[in-house]
Amino acid sequence: MAKVSIIGAGQTGATTAHFLATREIADVVLVDIVEGMPQGKGLDLAEAMPVIGSDTEIVGTNDFGPTAGSEVVVVTAGLPRKPGMSRDDLLEANTRIVKTSIESALEHSPDAIFIMLTNPLDAMSYVAMKVGDLPRERVIGQAGILDSARMRAFVAMELGVSVQNIHCYVLGGHGDDMVPLTRHSNVAGVPLTRALSVESLDAIVERTRKGGGEIVGLLKTGSAFYAPAAALAQMVEAILKDRNLIVPASVYLQGEYGQEGIFFGVPAQLGRKGLVKVIEYDLNNEEQAALKASADHVRETIEALKL
């Protein structure tokens, strides 16, 4: 079975390991600096495998030795948001954490594909690529897939329709200026602009943009982890099983959507080599303007990095 290492065994990391293990997607190594914590969570998960009938191997560790030969490395390590904090407030501290994580992981798994979750997501994906001197295919940020899932959940709540019938696409930076493409999103083929009133759709768009902050405000001592972990597991599976699945994700742009030199949320086709290609939608003037505004903010954050 393939090996996936998860750097950061907190709520998101451990829950990602749980999703991967229950679906037998890969053997899992949980890495964290807190002594005993990844070992304890790894052992607890391993003891659950006989109950659910999975032969996945799960181990926890405080060093990177056991991660050797990982096909995919998921980076969730970093300081979480607290109430009142923006994702950008985490920039300096999490840059140091990501830099160390990437260097250590590459030492043991030089061919790994990296999936980033640490916030601010687009900037941390950029850090990973630059620190590791990696081609853009091997660094993918998990952003729009989560934001799109949140939007799908809100549409389902509003319409009383199965989430499986709802397709939403949220592009742009993983922040409050993300761009939900309501014109391209639909319910069983019916555009959201027809399925919902203007007021309902506007409310869903706003709630989607503030989705992470809403959960932070409710939890008070942490941030979301179930939905981010499910999205990470889907991305890992798409890569390891060469699904060529198209999902909104943060990737390094080289002219697509008129942007270059930044990580940014776009429809990305994921396969065994990581990023296969970027899918470009036909956007109207309003959508292009919103995407440019989001890109300008991401660019400002990346330019503030001290690499």
Can you list the alpha helix ranges (DSSP code H) found in the chain? 11-22, 37-52, 91-108, 121-132, 144-159, 192-195, 198-209, 211-219, 226-240, 285-303
Cα dihedral value 145, 215, 223, 94, nearest 10? 70
The three-class DSSP label of residue 64 is coil
Beta bridge partners of 27: 3
Q: Please report, as a single letter, which amino acid is at residue 171.
A: L
Beta carbons of 4 and 233 less than 8 angstroms apart: no
Q: Which residues are catalytic?
A: 174
DSSP 8-state assignment for residue 90: G
What distances in angstroms separate CA 51 from CA 45, 54, 55, 230, one per listed residue?
A: 10, 8, 10, 21
Beta carbons of 267 and 143 less than 8 angstroms apart: no
Beta carbons of 1 and 37 less than 8 angstroms apart: no
The 10 Å Cβ neighbour count of residue 278 is 20
What distances in angstroms separate CA 8 from CA 118, 129, 137, one per listed residue?
A: 10, 19, 23
How many whole angstroms separate alpha carbon 177 and alpha carbon 234? 24
- Tell me how far the alpha carbon of residue 277 is from its chain's centroid: 17
